[in-house]
Amino acid sequence: MDDFGQPSYAWLPFAASGVLFGFLMAESQWDLLLFSAIIIGVLISGKVNKPQFSIGFVMIGIMLIIRGVPVITSLPELLLILGILLIASIVDERGNDWADRQQTTFVSGFFKYRFTLKVSVLILSIFWPGFWRAAVGLWFFDTGYEAAGIVDRNQFHDNH
């Protein structure tokens, strides 16, 4: 909504997203890890630039308080994975910005659809099989995210 000049309509979707993120983050250490990397990556990349994001973060915190934080089995291992995912997330966000300004090529398509993180989670799930479910979930989530973006852009352009 923010992209189309109606940021006041973004409060409810951000709140709903925060509830969903918080719910999923409480499911397992792998989900907590993946969503934490995405959130930190977006923050570091400067994409959190509107007050509407705050309700999402509040809702994540509330959901984690209600549902609890999952048990962490190996902090050093999870910090290693978090570092890898964080780098992939930041590369995706920066690469996506770059791809928006480029001609259509394989490389710009790779970054436009944020494949760095998607490929990284699949590779990590080879070494940490417990991560597989979170990896598959990311692919489904991102497919829905991209499909919604396409529909939204088409709807916006049809009405303007």
The one-character DSSP state at 71 is: P
CA angle 125, 93, 67 (to 5 degrees): 55
Residues 85-140: pLDDT tens digits? 999 988 888 888 888 787 777 777 788 878 899 999 999 999 999 899 999 988 99
User: Is the pLDDT confidence value at 7 over 70?
Assistant: no
pLDDT of 58 reads 93
2 has a pLDDT exceeding 60: no
For residue range 66-76, list pLDDT tens digits in order. 999 999 999 99
Q: What tokens does 15 get?
A: 């709140």
Average pLDDT taken over every residue of the chain = 86
C-alpha distances in Å from residue 6, one per residue of 17, 18, 156: 18, 19, 12
